[in-house]
Structure 1
Amino acid sequence: MTPGTSGPLVATALDLPAGSPGGSVELFLDLYTGPQPLIPARPFMLAPTGRRPRKPAGLELLPVVGKCLDGPAFHRYVAVLQRAITDAIAPATIGVLHVQHLTFGAAPALLRALPGHPSIALVHGTDLIFAAANRHQHQVLTDTTRHADAIVVPTTAMADRLLQIAPNTDRTKIHHIPWGVPDQLLARPPRRSPRTPGGPFRLLYAGRLTPEKGVENLLRALAAVTGVELSIAAPHDQFHTLAPALRASGVKIRYLGWLRRPQLWRSFADHDLLVMPSTTLEAMGLVALEAQARGLPVLYQPVPGLADTLAASGTATDFTRPAALARDIDRLRTTPGLLPALRQAGRSNAARYRLSATAKALTELGHRIS
């Protein structure tokens, strides 16, 4: 599938402010925005308060405030969001709905704004984490998946977890369509920055610093590992919140800021290993695949989603056991030929998950349900 390929015009929304961090946001922007989006769409996010970040081509902002997660205020918020979508879209122009973040307000708002349209519910990791922990989010999830004509999961582990949380889900509606990384990441061999002789082993953590990402486990484990340096690419406010734990760990830390995607991709060349200590699940672990595409091996906690996506192309470890982490890092940095072999295996693995294939499969599914 090439950019701009004709398909049913999609309406889709994330009730997050433009500029919010997260893999699901990056996937959303990759698929639906840009001068020639992979999927022709009317994509919406919330207008941020304060200074507005640079907005990608095609993204439309809804001037809706008051986002909340439950209670009477949630229903008022959904109603306002629904009206904003209704005012922005002529229903006759839309062929199919792509419903995102199934436990939050944009899902019911989009379905109510465009009733009768065929819809695909895309399941993200955040959806299942929130639905498992909160009764109201669980109800929103089950209502959304019941209403949808098709449900898309990126890994079989996500399907299993969805059925554990919502066992009455219609299994015949579930489709496995992996998320993908931008094809250009695989277009040419990656460049590697040479290591400084005698310098530290360079680890990179990239992503949000929320509890399920397991960074505190990482810090506790790295305190027992010598000769390493940890770079962190994360949102500023989350890094500031974690600063006391970072100082207490004694780990040598470099803060890179919250990097734009091209900056992050370039930073992969300056590190020896990406670490992913997630504690619960990952929908797929797109940052791990992006790292592999650019020749950076991945050390990961084998939680659902990551275990499916990476398997033997990365190195599984237990970040909750400092001795295990120390052993695995020592093996990676001292075994001749191991890191180059992992770079090759990782790049081959990432090549299986091209974003163009994700867009093609979603468009074909939209045709089938329309």
Structure 2
Amino acid sequence: MSTPLVATFLDLPAGSPGGSVELFLDLYTGPNPLIPARAFMLQPTGHRPTLPAGLDLLAVGGKCLDGPAFRRYVTALRQALTAALDPASIGVLHLQHLAFGATPALLQALPQHPRVALVHGTDLLFAERHRDQLQILCETARFADAIVVPTGAMADRLLRLAPQTDRRKITHIPWGIPDHLLTTPPARPPHRPGQILRLLYAGRLTAEKGGEHLAKALSAVPGIELSIAAPRHEFHALAPLLKRLGLHARYLGWLDRPQLWKAFADHDALVMPSTTLEAMGLVALEAQARDLAVLYQPVPGLTDTLGASALATDFTNPQAVARDLARLKSSPSLLLALRTVGRDNAARYPLSATATALTDLGKQLC
């Protein structure tokens, strides 16, 4: 059977930060996409970013979450998709998130096609907070032919929100990282006891990512250097707290992926203080693949992905963080062991395996 052409839509402006965006671009865009697709994002206001091959933009405004305005937004998205897509050329829908506007718009634009819904995490968080998004999530879970979760924790969270979901639809397909990251890691000098421990935070700084917990936990720890790679406006929002705590953080900017991978080599450990859940924690896997130790808050998703391959700590407890960082500073063998088991863990998640599993699932539905 030939590979079905996918129609998929992430209703975020092109250029938005986040792991779900990177995964979306990795899978569906580029000169030779891993999954052939008609892939859409929203046209951003202002400067138009450089687009990867195969990504189309929809000029639809009014993105929102609730009420009549949300329904008007979905209608506008559906009209734009209907104008852009030839139903006869599409084999299967990949619904990015079980909530938000793109999912109901795709379902309305192509109502007869097989539907694979992919759970990312933010859809679950927003469904908990917004009634209309919970309704969309429940409807998507009912109408989807298959529901893909990257970790068991995401399935558990989904079933708590939508307990009527047919469990037989749920398929576990882990997200993956680009295969080329799983080759020989970059050389790095060994860490010597007593050296400054160089920590890196990389990602969004929204409330659920735990930036405030991280700042408070590190403010009393001597002998560390913290670098932050995050969207500029989010770093600026955190900066007053950093100043009050007397914690100096080196701001790296919002790095593109190759820049971030290069920055991994300049640090000893990645910190992930997420407070609620992570769908998968792809940046942690990318760090492990590039020979960087990881410290993480053991929340659902990260626990599934990282387990004992990284050092779990409690970023809400400064004493616990200080103790674990002291262990890393004084024990080069522990850092080396974390790097070794981390590389082995990352090797379990090649992006090509994700693409193959999603494609095979689509073929079964067509």
Q: Same fold (TM over 0.5)?
A: yes
Match of 1:235 in 2: 231
Match of 1:187 in 2: 183
SS at match of 1:291: helix
Match of 1:301 in 2: 297
* C-alpha deviation, 1:195, in angstroms: 5.9
Q: Does 1:142 align with 2:120?
A: no
- Does the 8 Å CA contact 2:208/2:274 hold for their aligned counterparts? yes
Q: Does 1:61 align with 2:70?
A: no
SS at match of 1:270: coil
- Does the 8 Å CA contact 1:193/1:270 hold for their aligned counterparts? no
CA distance in 2, matches of 1:196, 1:325: 20
Which residue, out of 140, 163, 166, partners 1:167? 163
* C-alpha deviation, 1:196, in angstroms: 9.0
Which residue, out of 209, 219, 224, partners 1:223? 219
TM-score by length of 1: 0.97
Alignment of 1:308-347 (within 5 A): 308-347=304-343
Residue by residue, what CA displacement relative to the aligned partner does 1:220-269 show, whole Å, maximum 9, x if unpaired? 11111111111000001111122111211211210000000000001000
Match of 1:98 in 2: 94
Match of 2:31 in 1: 35
Q: Does 1:355 align with 2:347?
A: no
CA distance in 2, matches of 1:237, 1:6: 45
CA distance in 2, matches of 1:19, 1:191: 31
- Does the 8 Å CA contact 2:270/2:293 hold for their aligned counterparts? yes
Amino acid at match of 2:44: P
CA distance in 2, matches of 1:38, 1:336: 39
CA distance in 1, matches of 2:81, 2:6: 13
SS at match of 1:203: strand
Q: Does 1:130 align with 2:126?
A: yes
Alignment of 1:10-21 (within 5 A): 10-21=6-17
* C-alpha deviation, 1:192, in angstroms: 2.0
CA distance in 2, matches of 1:201, 1:208: 22
* C-alpha deviation, 1:133, in angstroms: 1.7
- Superposition CA RMSD, Å: 1.3
- Does the 8 Å CA contact 2:193/2:329 hold for their aligned counterparts? no
- Does the 8 Å CA contact 1:6/1:40 hold for their aligned counterparts? no
Q: Does 1:200 align with 2:181?
A: no
The number of residues matched between the two structures is: 366
CA distance in 2, matches of 1:132, 1:354: 31
- Does the 8 Å CA contact 1:214/1:278 hold for their aligned counterparts? yes
* C-alpha deviation, 1:7, in angstroms: 1.1
* C-alpha deviation, 1:191, in angstroms: 2.6
Which residue, out of 60, 69, 91, partners 1:73? 69
Amino acid at match of 2:219: A
Task: Report the CA distance shift for 1:336/1:256 in structure 2 as closer, same or farther (over 3 A).
Answer: closer
* C-alpha deviation, 1:135, in angstroms: 1.4
SS at match of 1:231: strand
Q: Does 1:246 align with 2:238?
A: no
- Does the 8 Å CA contact 1:193/1:269 hold for their aligned counterparts? no
* C-alpha deviation, 1:333, in angstroms: 1.6
Task: Report the CA distance shift for 1:193/1:109 in structure 2 as closer, same or farther (over 3 A).
Answer: farther
Structure 1, unmatched stretches of 5+, are none
Structure 2, unmatched stretches of 5+, are none
- Does the 8 Å CA contact 1:62/1:84 hold for their aligned counterparts? yes
CA distance in 2, matches of 1:191, 1:207: 24
* C-alpha deviation, 1:190, in angstroms: 2.4
Amino acid at match of 1:215: G
- Does the 8 Å CA contact 2:13/2:43 hold for their aligned counterparts? yes
SS at match of 2:100: coil
Match of 1:262 in 2: 258
TM-score by length of 2: 0.98
CA distance in 1, matches of 2:210, 2:189: 28
Amino acid at match of 1:64: V
Match of 1:211 in 2: 207
Amino acid at match of 2:4: P
- Does the 8 Å CA contact 2:43/2:58 hold for their aligned counterparts? yes
* C-alpha deviation, 1:71, in angstroms: 0.5
Match of 1:89 in 2: 85
CA distance in 2, matches of 1:240, 1:211: 14
Q: Which range is displaced more, 135-144 or 39-48?
A: 135-144
Q: Does 1:47 align with 2:43?
A: yes
CA distance in 1, matches of 2:168, 2:297: 31
